[in-house]
A and B are shown apart, each in its own frame.
Chain A
């Protein structure tokens, strides 16, 4: 009796320890990992692979998908040889394998030269009519700061790829005399996309001490409000904002209020990378393959390899 128990335990332990070589990779079902529907990364990924319905709906995804957060997906993919997930380019490290998208390797360089296309832009616009000159000067100073090397550092530190490096703020600052005076009585209001909240708040926090301790308020509610509250129909209401962010390019209706485009800037790219286990032989997936994996059309890794 005792011997049987011991033997069973020994066999189990051996099995657990020797498990890595287990099942045949190609016949394994793909374990699909995703962020939940409120995540900006999910929105960017699903739209980037042309699976727009899945940006907001879970019920179009393959059965048995795993919902997790950034770190959860990372740590799962380090153990799960049959898994696939997606994370921000910023989070990529060598514990997982970053897949090429449509044949292009994900890198800061390829994001900036427009060859890596699984990405979305972070843009902003400022309002055209201000309550007073001080607010106008402060807003323009903020725009200059966000586009400077110092602004780019803040953006890169918060997970996106900055698109502008127009010089150091220390030298640009002299163009904005408003920043020499005490601005603690003035408040700049920021709004728009909620996926850029982290970057926008970091920019506000970095800007204030560089411009006379101006007060900042970040109220992010969605990309649509970026235009609406600075140049659109809500610009003079209670949601009066100085700068509006968007995590997509401004659309036709939003461009009409400033045909010259002088009030609109792109500040960064948010690149998203599909990741798999380091032992996974797959190196590259197309947008269509990713879509078919997430919709359940490609069920096993064999299906993908022989696709």
Chain B
């Protein structure tokens, strides 16, 4: 009896293993499929003559400061160099805003807030993470753009209806805030309590302990949150294009000047366009994937260098 049972259990084991293998392969092949599809379409403008228009110059595409010189559907002089710079600039600027707020909120939820309040705050953060990006965009358009416009005027500056850098940064910061908060909170709670007790026993105040021991010990997890947040900021299209003003040349750095990102440029007019002007958006997609991959690699390297603290 016992023998038979063991036999059937091992059979179930091998079956489960096989099923898990299949699921793993299926989900991995999605990524391969997407990458292949985007790359095949995205390379086309550079290697074909685009129905007689001539091929797109790769060097110009990577470096030029104007999106398109000449008429749409006729010219192939596309340039996305300024978009790379603007995309990175906007993502890091938004992190500058969301990182301190997110980490300090996480510290509050994990260490200071009374239990019922912490539970409520956690719910709010989860809710915020599930709000679709278009809603953030609409809040940006309806609420923040008029405010930014008035702020600019009060500083004696002109702003195109509030569209531009500051609007994008605020919207992106709002969107990446729940990611940073949730992940930081988990890693702060995971910090070994004996570390904190030791600090308190040595005479450090609770505030000193929270900032110098808890946050420091949790920095690897906090850094992971920041990396995920950067990923979200780099890839966001809908909300950004609603508040960007979609500059067609650049790079733009001014807080009140219009701006654009790789994704907002992909989205602009996507549904109405055809031919080379459609295909080139896949090339921008490939560029975006490379930018995100490189950024993540660099940030992960930094994380490994600075984050190796005992947790």
Contact = CB atoms under 8 A, between A and B. Distances in A.
B269 A57 contact: no
Among B73, B163, B247, residue most surrounded by chain A Cβ atoms (within 10 Å): B163
Contacts of B160: 31, 33, 64, 66, 76, 80, 83
B257 interface: yes
Contacts of A67: 245-248, 268
A31 to B, nearest CB: 4
A259 B288 CA distance: 54
Interface string B143-172: 001110111011110111111000000000
A72 B272 contact: no
A56 B258 CA distance: 21
B72 interface: yes
B136 to A, nearest CB: 15
Contacts of B230: none
Contacts of A56: 71-74
Contacts of A80: 149, 159-162
Interface string B254-282: 00011000000000110011100100000
Interface in A103-118: none
A137 B73 CA distance: 38
Interface stretch (A12-20, A121-129, A145-153): A12-20
A19 B154 contact: yes
Given A16-B147, A18-B154, A64-B160, A72 B242 contact: yes
A63 B274 CA distance: 26
Contacts of B72: 37-38, 56-58
A38 B162 contact: no
A133 B70 CA distance: 48
A39 B247 CA distance: 17
Contacts of B66: 59
A36 B269 CA distance: 6
A300 to B, nearest CB: 10
Contacts of A31: 158, 160-161
A19 B154 CA distance: 5
B129 to A, nearest CB: 26
A194 B242 CA distance: 24
Nearest to B71: A56
Nearest to B258: A66
Nearest to B271: A38
A79 interface: yes
B222 interface: no
Nearest to B257: A64
A72 B146 CA distance: 13
A75 interface: yes
B163 A76 contact: yes
B163 A15 contact: no
A22 interface: yes
B183 interface: no
Contact of B246 (A22, A28, A68): A68
Given A23-B153, A66-B258, A80-B160, A58 B269 contact: no
B69 interface: yes
Contacts of A22: 153-154, 156
B95 interface: no
A157 interface: no
B161 A83 contact: yes
A272 interface: no
Contacts of B247: 64, 67
A56 B273 CA distance: 12
A28 B149 CA distance: 14
A79 B161 contact: yes
A65 B67 CA distance: 13
A29 interface: yes
Contact of A38 (B151, B161, B248, B277): B277
A56 B245 CA distance: 18
Given A29-B158, A31-B158, A79-B149, A59 B68 contact: yes
Contacts of B249: 59, 63
24 contacts: A15-B151, A18-B154, A19-B151, A29-B158, A31-B160, A36-B246, A36-B269, A37-B72, A38-B273, A53-B71, A56-B74, A57-B71, A58-B72, A59-B66, A59-B70, A59-B248, A64-B160, A64-B257, A66-B160, A66-B161, A76-B145, A79-B146, A83-B160, A194-B272
Top 6 A-B pairs ranked by shortest CB distance? Answer: A76-B161, A80-B161, A56-B71, A15-B154, A38-B269, A37-B72
Given A28-B158, A59-B248, 11 more contacts: A23-B153, A31-B161, A39-B269, A56-B74, A59-B68, A59-B249, A66-B163, A72-B141, A75-B161, A76-B161, A80-B159
